Amino acid sequence: MLAGKRIVLGVTGGIAAYKAVDLCRRLVDAGAHVVPVMTAGAEHFLGRTTLSALASEPVQTSLWNEASPIPHTRLGQSADLIVVAPATARLLAAYAAGLSSDLLTNTLLATRAPVVVCPAMHTEMWEHPAVQANIATLRSRGVHIVEPEAGRLAGGDTGTGRLAAPERILAAIVRVLSGGDLAGTHVVVSAGGTREPIDAVRVIANRSSGKQGYAIAAEASARGAQVTLVSTVDLAVPFGVTVLAVETAAQMEAALTGLAPAADVVVMAAAVADFRPVAAVPGKIKKDQGVPQIVLEPTPDILAGLGATKPAGQVLVGFAAETSDLLVHAAAKLQRKHLDLIVANDVAAPGVGFQHDTNAVTLLGADGTTRTVALADKRAIAKAVLDTVVEIRGRDQPPHPPLPTS
Ligand code: CTP
């Protein structure tokens, strides 16, 4: 994934410095040549030997090095990417102000390579206007910020400020370095099962976990797309993905019909309820009122609606979760809903579909091509789906003008 890439890993003095070890290991496992640089503050939290043992070179800490009199320019010029994890408030301030007080800040100023900064600090510090102003300055200069997450902080506190998970930082690095075959596109993905209210506490739901939709969103983002995920579930948000939370089929339809006209690719991975109660009962239905009669009505077929109004050049992808006659039903849905591609899965097979981390699918294209992907994790399935989407775009579609990035 990162073979041949030279990555400078800057570590500054925060409690999250120990997590830099995990990130370092992941970068090396992904094929990168990792050059670690620690600040004096980082050495209070992490032993040099630990990081040196896992990185591709020994840790460097000093500007003053007789063997290499200008280490910062050598480091900055030879890097394919610099990542700072964790980045303290002090590092953000120094970098934003252009201060060159130590090896890491000098290296940051001496590079033209992309820079990924991963702040970590207490909530009060993260939310301080001075810190937020520095973040805005760095962003405006093209620095990629992997925002901290909410969770437990040092000293037993909880709040926003925890270093982003190493897999999220790795995803950001891969995305920044890849450029990506979906760069300049807007990909809209739906995920999860809709919940249709019966009364104030009960819903009609289904077994969809949302994992496949999230995997598609993560893969599209890693390949450079601007991704909007319309979701009914609360899973970890993949790097670079914007989530719109919805619950019912009606809310999902409203969100998607708003987004789809400007999308280059729409992937409808959500499991939409086919029927909903005609009207939700206000308050809670009580047992002593007897067995309720719940009258259902069909929900709108969102995907069929998107197919009927599909703009030229858009690739529309649907899913077909079946328990019998998989390809017959999937082919009928492909045609009926005017899709470019349908992802068919036999949800009765072991390890496939709802709630599993794995899936096995057949991809049916509108041109009659089929591709079978044997049981694999949902990210690998996502990769196969998006490989096919890229092929369809390359074959049939004139290039779409890139959307302005926010
Ligand atoms: N879908 C949708 N709106 C619905 C029902 C389904 O947009 N009200 C979408 C799903 O997100 C999926 C595709 O249509 O991408 C196929 O869904 P599926 O449930 O397999 O098929 P249905 O069209 O609902 O047909 P059936 O339930 O008879 O299999």
pLDDT in tens, the chain (406 residues): 899 999 999 999 999 999 999 999 999 999 999 999 999 999 999 999 999 999 999 999 998 876 776 788 889 999 999 999 999 999 999 999 999 999 999 999 999 999 999 999 999 999 999 999 999 999 988 899 999 999 888 888 889 999 999 999 999 999 899 878 898 899 999 999 999 999 999 999 999 999 999 999 999 998 889 999 999 999 999 888 999 999 999 999 999 999 999 999 999 999 999 999 999 999 999 999 999 999 999 999 999 999 999 999 999 999 999 999 999 999 999 999 999 999 999 988 888 878 789 999 999 999 999 999 999 999 999 999 999 999 999 876 444 444 444 3
Contacts of 138 (CB under 8 A, 6+ apart): 92, 95, 96, 117, 145
Give yes or no for a contact between 335 and 299, defined as CB atoms under 8 angstroms apart: no
**Ligand 1 centroid from CA 128, angstroms:** 47
Question: Is there a single domain that holds both residue 203 and residue 87?
Answer: no
The residue among 369, 370, 320 whose CA lies nearest residue 347 is 320
206 is catalytic: yes
Ligand 1 in reach of 302 Cβ (< 6 A): yes
Ligand 1 in reach of 338 Cβ (< 6 A): no
Give yes or no for a contact between 32 and 116, defined as CB atoms under 8 angstroms apart: no
Q: Which pLDDT score is estimated for 142?
A: 83
pTM above 0.85, yes or no: no
Ligand 1 in reach of 170 Cβ (< 6 A): no
Sign of the dihedral through C-alpha 99, 105, 111, 117 = negative
Give yes or no for a contact between 376 and 352, defined as CB atoms under 8 angstroms apart: no
Question: Is there a single domain that holds both residue 35 and residue 166?
Answer: yes
Cα 386 to Cα 92, 266, 304: the distances in Å are 36, 11, 21
Residue 41 inside a domain? The answer is: yes
Question: Is there a single domain that holds both residue 230 and residue 301?
Answer: yes
Question: Is there a single domain that holds both residue 224 and residue 168?
Answer: no
**Ligand 1 centroid from CA 306, angstroms:** 12
**Which residue among 267, 333, 362 has the greatest number of ligand 1 atoms within 8 angstroms of its CB, and so is best to mutate?**
333
Question: Is there a single domain that holds both residue 205 and residue 310?
Answer: yes
Ligand 1 in reach of 301 Cβ (< 6 A): yes
Ligand 1 atom closest to Cα of 305?
A: 7
**What residues form DSSP beta bridges with 10?**
37, 84
Question: Is there a single domain that holds both residue 307 and residue 279?
Answer: yes
Ligand 1 in reach of 27 Cβ (< 6 A): no
The residue from 65, 106, 206, 345 that is catalytic is 206
**Ligand 1 centroid from CA 377, angstroms:** 23
Q: Which pLDDT score is estimated for 368?
A: 92
Residue 403 inside a domain? The answer is: no
- The domain tally of the chain equals 2
Q: Of 178, 203, 232, which residue constitutes the final position of a domain?
A: 178
Give yes or no for a contact between 138 and 92, defined as CB atoms under 8 angstroms apart: yes
Question: Is there a single domain that holds both residue 360 and residue 315?
Answer: yes
Residue 152 inside a domain? The answer is: yes
The residue among 27, 23, 36, 20 whose CA lies nearest residue 2 is 27
Range of the structural domain that residue 285 is part of: 186-396
Question: Is there a single domain that holds both residue 91 and residue 174?
Answer: yes
Residue 172 inside a domain? The answer is: yes
Residue 46 inside a domain? The answer is: yes
